[in-house]
A and B are shown apart, each in its own frame.
Chain A
Amino acid sequence: MSDFIAKEGIQNLHKPGEKLITTHCCYCGMQCGMHIRVNKSSGKVVGVEPRYDWPVTNGKMCPKGVTAYQTIDHQDRITKPLIKKNGEFVESSWKEALDLIEKNFKRLQEESGKDALSVFGGVSMTNEKCYLVGKYARVGLGTRYLDYNGRFCMSSAAGGFIQTFGVDRGSTLPWTELEHSDCFFLAGSNTAECHPTSIQWFWKAKDKGAKLIVADPRETPTARVADVHLDLKPGTDSALANGMLHLIIKEGYVDKEYVSKRCNNFEELKQNVDKFTPEYTSEITGVAVEKLIKAAHIYGMSPRSVVMFARGVEQQSKGVDNVRLYSSMALLRGQVGKFASGVATFTGQGNGQGGREHGQKSDLLPGYRKLTDPAAVEYISSIWGIDPSEMPKPGVSAYEMFGEIEKGNIRGMHVICSNPAVSAPNLEHIWNGFKKLDFLVVSDFFLSETASFADVVLPATTWAEDEGTTTNIEGRVIRIRKVTDPIGESKPDWEILSLIAERMGKGKHFLYNEAGEIFDEFRLATKGGKADYYGITWDRIDRENGVFWPCPAEDHPGTPTMFEESFYTEDGKANLGVVGWKEAGEVPTKDYPLFLTTGRVVFHYLSGNQTRRVDFLMEQCPEPFAEMHPALASRYQLEDGDMVKLKTPRSHMTVKTKITKAIRKDTVFVPYHWGKELAVNQLTSDCLDPISRMPEFKVCALQMEKLPAKKEGITRE
């Protein structure tokens, strides 16, 4: 197997004394293809070269991707285990750190039972690692308390897809088909900033005349080029979607044959959306009636269309409902399971798709098997070599784990590849939880805000120091390559987990020498499950530009397009979403008269633990800001750059004002990539979706206050 893969005729710049290693970016779900430049004699990473022949991204990269390699040999890397002594981190040996972990983990479990420990995982790592996190929690530690940061990211999409289609694959079509679509309906996605390299596909289609409809409270760089921008109030997506469904039915755009053959609940849906006239929808959403009608006609008339959505609609207390309703738009038009049309969500995290299929979720086992299904428990137990009776029961969701800490049920935690001290909502609650824990272990390669609470920090490797696979935004399983040896004494997560499991007396279940062995075990674990990876091998990934799951056998071609024949529900039919309109968990009041919504900027990724350490990215966007309309700013006598105090029922923070007309007049936007006093998640609401347990990051009620300008006298030296 070669480290450098390029198709014939593709020219790359090979500098003398350097080699190129073919891999993918570590950040979002686009998983852009790239080659990393490595100095042949020193083995050091020196730069990046575009991977022009990766079919999904064609060599393109965003500024995060271009600079991703700079996090590998970064001066802030943790290179040795750290143990907190008298409030200060002290470098230690692996043996000392593991001794301490073993002692405390065993003590806590003896005192308070197996479930006193918990594991908080993440999905910005390979399938091999994500799979092992689940096995580590359930076999290594034997605890039921396991969940992951996908609860803050993808779980509403997963919940909505499972209810609608019977399976959760983020995209029903391969994205290389997008250029042949005629219309895109993008809801709650600022893809130009959050998945920048996807924008090429929308432009390819636009150049041939495709239309773009974007629903977003802000006129984002994505919405700016839309044919219709539905500038809805935060948290009103279910009304907007119902309004669109109403118009699709009223104007006769329903593909009746498809719906009668392949969908349930059409009559109920019809009845339910009856009252969502454009006028009523406009009243709730704040979107002009003409825009709704124009959008419905454009969408309805398009022969091939794709409905796409992202965190904007998912990070709500009605996230699952929103996903069901928007997916139903595609179903009514008969679009799902056909060429260049369908439904897709924009996966936020690098391996958001793969990571959620392999049993890091409190109620799931590998291959999207359910922990409540005795047959699944039996099968996975046989792979793991345990007795089915030893399999822990389902635990609670990520945010709710902190409630268990408060109650004293969880006393120890191992956080892997995640930074909930920045990315969780209502942060003071989270911080108090971390402080209350008897023992906290964090695996990371930078000292994150979460790691600063830890008793022991274990140095993990970055994505470039290990082999493995991830599953991209489309459901395509791709190959991540080892570019350099682990920096300092850092170890890949799977090795760390195996070492701790061994200390807990479970070493015989974790006998791995390399990531490839984990892949082989996990292929077997997914065999026969909904997310079946059994037929996928590392060789095939290289040969075939990645393989789409489900792929049950090595001679199976994989499944780029889902649902061509039938859906994964029991009766094989899709379930149309029949959901009424409900207010968000928190709505503006007299005291808190505005909407606060949060999101990303193009220069940072998730909690910013990586991107805040890259010079170029920090030069572009060093701190959060409160983005608002000039009409709103003038009501508060605010000018661009003024300091403003933002307050919600939970907490308050102070940030700079940034004024633009490209946002609703009743909404303030703050990006969430910073920690401590700069974390907007101190303010966000912990109202959870009843099914996906996703917090409502996108809507809370806000009070705003102008702060007096600091007197900055001119001092002369």
Chain B
Amino acid sequence: MNKIMYLEFERCIGCRACQAACRECGDHDAKERNYVEYVDFTESRQTYPMLCMQCKDPACARVCPANAIQITDEGVVLSAMEEKCIGCRNCTFGCPFGIPKFDFEENKMYKCDMCYDRSKHDIAPMCASVCPSDAIRFIDFDEMQQLRRRRSQMNLVEGKKPQEGNKWEYVPEFFGVYTD
């Protein structure tokens, strides 16, 4: 898999189809793992989607005392393994994006796994499949680069580009998983 989840916030229409679709993924227990937020509803209807960044060195996995959060060969950061998760919620505190969710009834963490049962076959995750405005896309690395070059001038933070060291300060625009 050499695909990128590419987000373009401006396109988001706030329909939450991505969330409805997330529940439809076979391995998701009908619980969504992604987020759609208003920037500030009083000012405008601008919304934006938030998904797991599938970090290369994920804070959630690092802080897990039980080693329950596995990373696949492709780089997908999975939900905590049921048999290992001790329900400490460290991952939810550790993630800088507030992504992992916690099921208090089952006492376990769950999160976006890029619909691993789909994406491992190169089939787009449900959120990216249905997003009506292409605010969420599942595209080839090359296509991402092409789009990135075109978008660079219209970046949300004008004249600046997020660096690896400070990208948390910026609203991220794309992320993905890479096989080395």
List residues of A whose CB falls within 8 A of some B CB.
11-13, 15, 47-48, 50, 52, 59-63, 65-67, 192-193, 196-200, 203, 219-222, 224-225, 602-603, 616-617, 620, 630, 640, 659-662
Contacts and interface: CB of A to CB of B under 8 A. Distances in A.
B158 to A, nearest CB: 19
B123 A203 contact: no
Interface stretch (B14-22, B53-61, B66-74, B161-169): B14-22
B104 interface: no
A66 B124 CA distance: 15
Contacts of A220: 45
A50 B132 contact: no
Nearest to B41: A660
B145 to A, nearest CB: 16
Given A52-B124, A603-B16, A616-B23, 19 more contacts: A48-B24, A60-B17, A60-B130, A60-B132, A63-B15, A63-B16, A192-B132, A196-B15, A196-B17, A196-B133, A198-B132, A219-B44, A220-B45, A224-B44, A225-B10, A602-B14, A602-B16, A640-B42, A660-B43
Contacts of A203: 11, 133-134
Nearest to A199: B133
Interface in B11-54: 11, 13-17, 19-21, 23-24, 26, 41-47
A660 B17 contact: no
Contacts of A65: 17, 130
B15 A193 contact: yes
B45 A60 contact: no
Contact of A62 (B15, B24, B42, B44): B15
B121 interface: yes
A59 B129 CA distance: 6
A220 B44 CA distance: 9
Nearest to A204: B134
B26 to A, nearest CB: 6
B130 A61 contact: yes
B159 to A, nearest CB: 23
21 contacts: A11-B122, A13-B121, A60-B17, A60-B129, A60-B132, A62-B15, A63-B16, A63-B17, A66-B17, A67-B20, A193-B13, A196-B132, A199-B133, A200-B134, A221-B45, A224-B44, A225-B10, A616-B23, A617-B20, A659-B42, A660-B41
A620 B134 CA distance: 21
Interface in B81-113: none
Contacts of A47: 24, 26
A659 B21 CA distance: 29
Interface centre among B17, B20, B26 (most CB of A within 10 A): B20
B44 A66 contact: no
Query: Interface SS of chain B: helix, strand, loop or mixed?
Result: loop
A199 B13 contact: yes
A60 B131 CA distance: 6
B133 A660 contact: no
Contacts of A661: 42-44
Contacts of B143: none
Given A63-B17, A200-B132, A630-B42, A15 B122 contact: no
Contacts of A62: 15, 17, 130, 132
Nearest to A192: B13
B132 A13 contact: no
Contact of A52 (B16, B41, B45, B129): B129
Contacts of A225: 10-11
Contacts of B14: 221, 602
Given A11-B121, A13-B121, A48-B24, A192 B15 contact: yes
B42 to A, nearest CB: 6
Given A13-B121, A602-B14, A660 B20 contact: no
B148 interface: no
Contacts of A11: 121-123
Nearest to B115: A13
B21 A66 contact: yes
Top-10 shortest CB links A-B: A63-B20, A196-B132, A192-B13, A66-B20, A50-B129, A221-B13, A61-B130, A197-B132, A602-B15, A199-B133
Contacts of B10: 225
B130 A66 contact: yes
Contacts of B142: none
Contacts of B42: 630, 640, 659-661
A613 to B, nearest CB: 15
Given A47-B24, A66-B21, A630-B42, A620 B16 contact: yes
Nearest to B121: A11
A224 B133 contact: no
Contacts of B41: 660
Of residues A12, A52, A59, A61, which shows the largest number of chain B Cβ atoms within 10 Å of its Cβ?
A: A61
